[in-house]
Amino acid sequence: MTGEMGDGRKTAWVIGAGLAGCEAAWQLACRGIHVRLREMKPDHYSPAHTYPGFAELVCSNSLKASRLGSAAGLLKHEMARMGSLVVQCAMETSVAAGGALAVDRYRFSDAVTAKVKSHPNIEVVSGEAEALPENGFGIVATGPLTSDKLAEDIARRLGKGYLSFYDAAAPIVSLGSINQERVFFAARYGRGEDDYINCPFSREEYEAFYNALIHAESAPLHEFDQREGSPSVYEGCMPIEVMAKRGADTIRYGPLKPVGLTDPHTGRRPWAVVQLRRENQEGSLYNLVGFQTNLKFGEQKRVFSMIPGLEQAEFVRYGVMHRNTFLDSPRLLNFSFQLVQEPRIFFAGQITGVEGYIESAASGILAGMNLARLLDGRGLIRLPQQTMLGALAGYISDPSVKDFQPMGSNMGILPPLEERVRDKSKRYLLMAERALKALEECLEQAGEKLLPGLENSLEGYTGKDGQTA
């Protein structure tokens, strides 16, 4: 087993050019490692992918909050310090989204693809990987929709440590087809520059919509998506129709909550509100926030057209539901996303059980950085638990975790402050500042400096909404 090419250069393979795979390949390449990055597109596409570029965003175009005192914001600050390609490209292609960092998904994919393909140490190999390489060092970043043959090979190698859940994507409508007389532009509590289109329901309109939603017909799952006759749905991406069946007020206190909004047409808070978020830089497309769904396309058109303002909406993409797979990581991986039983192999991305775009990308950074250190004969970095990425890596590798389920970034997985701070905003900001300090000390002690050409930081970054990240 070797990690060198014939000319003496160190080499590694990466399977999958999604967010995690691109970050992993970038970390390796910027440290002088020759990377063979294998991507099955455009030869083959998963059931959820359609765009030939790398780092394709499937579900939402939002990378969540930017502010430091939030879980997602803290994680992006940590990623920027570690030389994140994804954060850099996201800032370059961002679109207005209140306090969130959202991107034009196609320009974002193009930006990542261009940078990866132009790096002299990255060799892109097209075609589906049907099995893991028997030799060499590498990273598996095939995502939650790993192809069947490769999934079978991984399952064969790892035994029963393989689980599955289901994910869902929201519909997208064109701006020109929205009835502007029924909607209003505003951000909740006035945060941002009126970046969201709000579709306000009266009580009667909501009740009619709700009854239609819970009785609408869902699309049948493929045979390979069946699990003992019914799907297992991850709570963080729950289809709107499944959530609605839990009670008439469930979605009204969830994605359709009207708090922080006043309908200028009535001067009152609506009974419920559907928010639409800008999908591209031109502002010609908007997605229905929180409306991941598995309804049949015809049913989506019928039911979602009952939303005020969407009576004549043009649906440029309907919602879809698809199978996601992830490892039983606490039994398989360590703190650096390294496979315990076969240390030459690392995993990264949502296949490890981290949930979300930035979480997936961040895991690729840590896996790539540690594989490079392994090839250089250096010790692996274990990030402090005070950091968001360190806490996520700790969670997915904690053998005491039972009935493992995916985990996204959240302040609850960080250790509490030594002193009690009642104000939540202040407490979260102090925890974030502690995290960045701990990260800096850890990387300095490990001899990890900023990557050449990526001295990027979110500090002082002003998003499209005019707010400082």
Q: Given a cut of 50, is residue 468 above it in pLDDT?
A: no
Residues 345 and 137: their CA atoms lie apart, in Å, by: 6
Please give the distance of CA 346 from its chain centroid, rounded to a whole number: 19
Q: Which domains does the chain have, with CATH numbers?
A: 11-161+328-445 (3.50.50.60), 169-321 (2.40.30)
Local confidence band at 180 (pLDDT 50, 70, 90 cut-offs): very high
Distance between CA 25 and CA 445 in Å, rounded?
A: 24
Residue where the block lists tokens 């509490």: 416
Residue 231 — pLDDT band, cuts 50, 70, 90?
A: very low
For residue 167, pLDDT over 80 is answered with no
Tokens of 114: 């261009």
Alpha-carbon gap, residue 107 to 94, rounded angstroms: 9
User: Any idea which residue has 């303002």 for tokens?
Assistant: 309
Contact 176, 283 (CB under 8 A): no
Distances (CA, A) of 102 to 12, 278, 330: 32, 8, 31
Name the token pair of 2: 């070797």
Q: 102: part of which helix (H) or strand (E)?
A: strand 100-103
- CA 346/CA 348 separation, integer angstroms: 7
Which DSSP symbol is given to 202?
Answer: P
Cβ neighbours around 355 below 10 Å, total: 23
Q: Which residue, chain included where needed, has tokens 């389920």?
A: 405
Q: Are 313 and 235 in contact (CB under 8 A)?
A: no
Residue with tokens 């967010």: 19
Over pLDDT 70: what percentage of the chain?
88
Angle at 440 between CA 120 and CA 418, to 5 degrees: 150
**H/E stretch holding 424:** helix 424-445
The yes-or-no verdict on residue 456 having pLDDT over 80 is no
Least Cα distance to 456 among 83, 63, 26 occurs for 83
Main-chain phi, psi angles of 4, to 5 degrees: -125, 150
Q: What is the predicted pLDDT for the residue at 221?
A: 61
Task: List 317's β-bridge partners, or say none.
Answer: 172
| Across 213-228, average pLDDT | 70
pLDDT tops 70 at residue 135: yes
| pLDDT exceeds cutoff 70 at 59 | yes
**pLDDT, tens digit (0-9, with 9 covering 90-100), for 8-50:** 679 999 999 999 999 999 999 999 999 999 999 888 877 777 7
What's the average model confidence in pLDDT over 435-455? 83
Q: What is the spatial distance between Cα 57 and Cα 356, in angstroms, rounded to a whole number?
A: 10
Residue 139, beta-bridge partner list? 14, 346
Q: Please provide the average confidence, as pLDDT, over all residues in the chain.
A: 88
pLDDT for the residue numbered 463 = 44
168 C-beta neighbours (distance < 10 Å), count: 25
How many Cβ atoms are within 10 Å of 398's Cβ, its own excluded? 12
Q: Which token pair is 241?
A: 């129709």
For residue 245, what pLDDT is reported? 96
